[in-house]
């Protein structure tokens, strides 16, 4: 009986998902006559084999570094890294629907770390993803559901009381996206009194409170919804990580990115606070991939596909308040 109910529940959920995805497809379909709202494949992409080669070329730890009874040893024994992250974050961690592989800057780093510990090269089996949100990240690290969180996770002193941060491994900044014909918004000061959309899982909401306290916030769940809100005039502007906005604008001619980033967001790798060896180990690994160019190559293959120019210098480890 209970099995029957469980099956029924599963079927129901599947059908709800099917409806939801059908809806999102429909939305994308009718979002604009000229371009899709959702992340499309029009941006210069890096093929799976090129991407996999970058992960496979990343360094592997000496066996002496995997000390007994440590955080690293438990990952090595298990054979894969349990990662808390996203499968819908463009440029950072997006699921490739053909191969089922996660690709992006965050995803790539988690795969490199898993390779560093386990020594394996098969990208698909290196990590297992648990989708996390702002509401669940700290708790899932504390109760051991995930080994590490790679989720455009901005290092803040408040969060550092709950989890340990390795890094910063990337420094980003929030920029502004508006409709193509908008001329009134050029910088963050112009957001005063305007409706501003952002992702509910992002720290952009916090930066907006700080830099544009009189803006009216609209928190949507995904990037595509925020872009749609701007395109349909529901929001005057959309604020998020510049890389993601540039990618949106390159996929959608109805919107544009204005001005330069007005914040500095140091992203860190969330680790359990009660395993201090993990943080030191991951920081050592970060220094290695900075030095041997793996970090650089991964940046070029992910964020570098929408941001022009060379990879920036990686941020200094321990530079952010809370890391």
Partner 1 sequence: MNIVLSHFGDLLGGFWVTIELTLLGFAGSVVLGTILAVCRVVPITPLRVIGASYVEFFRNIPLLTLMFLFIFGLPDIGITYSLFASAAICLALSGAAFTCEAIRSGINTVPVGQAEAARAIGLTFTQSLRCVILPQAFRSMVQPLVNVFIGVALSSSLAAAVAVNDLTNRTQQLNLEYAEAVAAFLVAGALYLVLSLGGAGAGAWFERRLAIQR
Q: Which positions lie near partner 1, rule CB under 8 A?
A: 16, 19-20, 23-24, 26-27, 30-31, 134-139, 156, 158-159, 161-162, 197, 200-201, 203, 205-206, 209, 217-221, 225, 228-229, 232-234
Q: Please, what is the minimum distance in Å from the beta carbon of residue 83 to partner 1?
A: 19
Pick 163 or 166: Cβ nearer partner 1: 163
* Helices (H) then strands (E): counts for the chain: 12, 13
Give the DSSP letter string of 102-143. Answer: EESHHHHHHHHHHHHHH----HHHHEEEEE--TTTHHHHHHT
Residue 110 beta carbon to partner 1: minimum distance, rounded to whole angstroms: 21
Nearer to partner 1 (CB atom), residue 157 or residue 312: 157
Question: Least distance in Å: CB of 282 to partner 1?
Answer: 20
Q: Bridge-partner residues for 154, per DSSP?
A: 267
CB 76 within 8 A of CB 114: no
CB of 205 to partner 1, least distance (A): 6
* Nearer Cβ to partner 1 (129/229): 229
Among residues 225, 311, 187, the alpha carbon closest in space to that of 24 is found at 225
Question: Closer CB to partner 1, residue 159 or residue 297?
Answer: 159
Which tokens belong to 186?
């050029």
**CB 73 within 8 Å of CB 278:** no
Q: What are phi and psi of 196, to 5 degrees?
A: -125, 120
C-beta of 45: minimal distance to partner 1 in Å? 26
**Which of residues 232 and 319 has its CB atom nearest to partner 1 in the complex?**
232
Packing angle, helices 276-291 and 71-78, rounded to 10: 70
């Amino acid at each position: 009986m209970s099995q029957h109910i469980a099956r029924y529940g599963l079927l129901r959920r599947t059908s709800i998902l099917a409806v939801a995805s059908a809806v999102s497809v429909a939305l994308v379909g009718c979002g604009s006559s000229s371009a899709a709202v959702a992340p499309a494949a029009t941006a210069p992409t890096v093929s799976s084999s090129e991407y996999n080669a970058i992960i496979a070329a990343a360094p592997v730890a000496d066996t002496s570094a995997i000390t007994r009874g440590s955080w690293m040893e438990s990952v090595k024994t298990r054979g894969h890294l349990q990662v808390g992250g996203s499968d819908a974050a463009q440029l950072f961690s997006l699921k490739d629907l053909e191969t089922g592989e996660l690709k992006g800057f965050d995803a790539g780093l988690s795969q490199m770390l898993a390779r560093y510990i386990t020594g394996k090269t098969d990208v698909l089996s290196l990590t297992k993803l648990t989708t996390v949100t702002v509401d669940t990240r700290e708790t899932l690290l504390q109760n051991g559901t995930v080994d590490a969180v790679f989720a455009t996770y901005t290092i803040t002193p408040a969060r550092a009381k709950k989890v340990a941060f390795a890094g910063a491994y990337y420094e980003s900044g929030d920029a502004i996206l508006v409709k193509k014909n908008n001329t009134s918004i050029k910088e963050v000061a112009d957001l005063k009194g305007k409706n501003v959309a952002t992702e509910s899982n992002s720290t952009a909401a916090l930066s907006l409170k700080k830099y544009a306290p009189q803006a009216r916030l609209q928190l949507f769940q995904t990037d595509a919804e925020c872009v749609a809100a701007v395109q349909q005039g529901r929001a005057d502007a959309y604020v998020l990580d510049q890389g993601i906005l540039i990618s949106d604008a390159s996929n959608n001619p109805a919107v544009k990115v204005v001005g330069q980033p007005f914040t500095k967001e140091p992203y860190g790798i969330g680790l359990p606070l009660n395993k201090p060896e993990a943080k030191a180990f991951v920081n050592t690994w970060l220094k290695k991939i900075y030095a041997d160019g793996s970090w650089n190559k991964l940046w070029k293959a992910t964020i570098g596909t929408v941001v022009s120019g060379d990879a920036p210098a990686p941020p200094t480890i321990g530079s952010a308040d809370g890391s």
